[in-house]
Chains A and B, each alone.
Chain A
Amino acid sequence: DIVMTQTPLSSPVTLGQPASISCRSSQSLVHSDGNTYLSWLQQRPGQPPRLLIYQISNRFSGVPDRFSGSGAGTDFTLKISRVEAEDVGVYYCIQGTQFPRTFGQGTKVEIK
């Protein structure tokens, strides 16, 4: 199974400041079709998960442009350019290249 490792596990951020979350996979996420199936989800307190980013860097419908994804191969990053109060929650990466699908442990973003 592909192991997904996120860092940090907790990220206290000042409102308006940037935040960055790293996700590393134990093997390349490049699929045989040439695509890389790495997604980022946000889970606000008490809410179900919500898709933010798919295939490394594509923002899902309705996702603010302060969220961006980057990376390749085994190393990926989610960046929030200016953290807002509504961004508080836990962020997960997930690989969709291979079964079983696997999530990172989650990174808790909170306001300082």
Chain B
Amino acid sequence: EVQLVESGGGLVQPGGSLRLSCAASGFTFSSYNMNWVRQAPGKGLEWISFISGSSSTIYYGDSVKGRFTVSRDNAKNSLFLHMNSLRAEDTAVYYCAKRLDDWGQGTLVTVSA
């Protein structure tokens, strides 16, 4: 059974940093592209990052480009999202997704003073 478990969310001040993790199991992690998608409170879904299985291809949404960095450790079946220069508008539930097939439960990031 595919499992994706996000962690690392929490309350952070504007301008601060946070690292999210996504622990994957139940599939050959290195064979799959992964995405990060977020959802602000009461709002729709926003795609923010893609990383290929080998990490050779990476893309970001415009709203996070230059501030967020995606990475993965295939030996540890883990996906990461390093978030810098956080803003109030980054407040959201952050989901990791195996392609679009399977999704974690999400981790809440709140950016507030």
Chain A interfacial positions (CB closer than 8 Å to B): 1, 39, 41, 43, 48-51, 54, 60, 90, 92, 94, 96, 99-106
Question: How far, in whole Å, are A49 and B111 apart by their CA atoms in the complex?
Answer: 23
Question: B97 — which chain A residues lie within 8 A by C-beta?
Answer: 49
Task: List the B residue with the shortest CB-CB distance to A39.
Answer: B100
What's the least CB distance linking A21 to chain B, in Å?
14
Contact B35 A101 (CB under 8 A): yes
State the B residues within 8 Å of A (CB).
Answer: 35, 37, 44-47, 50, 59-62, 95, 97, 100-106
Q: Are B47 and A101 in contact (CB under 8 A)?
A: yes
**Cα–Cα distance between A92 and B106 once the two chains are bound (Å):** 17
Contacts of B47 on A, CB cut-off 8 Å?
Answer: 94, 100-103
Q: List 13 A-B contacts (CB under 8 A).
A: A48-B106, A49-B97, A50-B103, A51-B100, A92-B45, A94-B45, A94-B47, A100-B47, A100-B59, A100-B60, A102-B47, A103-B46, A105-B44
